[in-house]
Structure 1
Amino acid sequence: MARLLEARRPPGKPRAAVAATWPVGEETGLPKFAKALILPIMSTMNISLPEGLKSFVDEQVSQRGYGTSSEYVRELIRKDQDRQRLRSFLLAGAESPLTPPIDAAYFEGLRDRIRKAAKPGDGE
């Protein structure tokens, strides 16, 4: 897709401007399953790294099957987002009020509710 956008980009025109003109929705002529594969417009960010970190990134890209260093960095960012989301869930759980212990009686009560709901003729 990126190669198609590059091929359509006139010299001197920014990538975002070309991507914004790429047809979307029904205009693409693509089948439904392929429309979900159209990537969002991406911004560019330049990052300065010491030589040691750049070498590490290059090594990870080649060893772990990433196509570019950008793919590797995007994956790191996604993992960090997931980690932060999990941390917030854990903190919210830790701050929530205590509940009664979950024991055999609790599970037996759940089973009773399911049995009652599954009985034919109840309520209908």
Structure 2
Amino acid sequence: MATMNVSLPTDLKSLVDFQVIQGGYGSTSEYVRELIRRDLDRRQLSAALLDGARSPIAGSADAAYFASLRDQARSGA
């Protein structure tokens, strides 16, 4: 595993220390890794939502559409 040193102002270091204790993290590194993973997840979700918003409308999401989805889910399709 690679090592990275980060300089923080005192108030941010205090915040990180508090979050480590309150969040049950074993170390500052664990907390920072979790923040990075969450940021990655957020970016991936944002990209997927933007891709979906840019895609053409395939059909209407009316009652029949949702009934079809329920039927598919029940049948395991």
| TM-score category of the 2 structures, normalised to the smaller one | 0.7 to 0.9
AA partner of residue 48 (structure 2): F
Task: Confirm or deny that 1:67 pairs with 2:26.
Answer: yes
Deviation at 1:103, TM superposition (A): 1.9
Q: TM-score, normalised by structure 2?
A: 0.81
Cα drift, residue 109 of structure 1? 5.8
Call closer, same or farther: CA 1:103–1:44 in 2, change over 3 Å.
same
- The aligned residue for residue 93 of structure 1 is 52
Q: Greater CA radius of gyration, 1 or 2? A: 1
Q: Deviations over 1:36-69 (max 9, x none)?
A: xxxxxx1000000011111111111111111110
Name the residue aligned to 1:104: 63
Give structure 1 stretches of 5+ with no counterpart: 1-41, 116-124
CA distance in 1, matches of 2:14, 2:7: 12
Cα distance, 1:98 vs. partner?
Answer: 1.1
For residue 105 of structure 1, report the CA deviation from its aligned partner: 3.4
Q: Give the helix-richer structure, 1 or 2.
A: 2
Structure 2 spans left out of the alignment, 5+ residues: none
TM-score (norm 1): 0.52
Count of residue correspondences? 72
Root mean square deviation, CA, Å: 2.1
Q: Distance in 2 between matches of 1:74 and 1:43?
A: 12
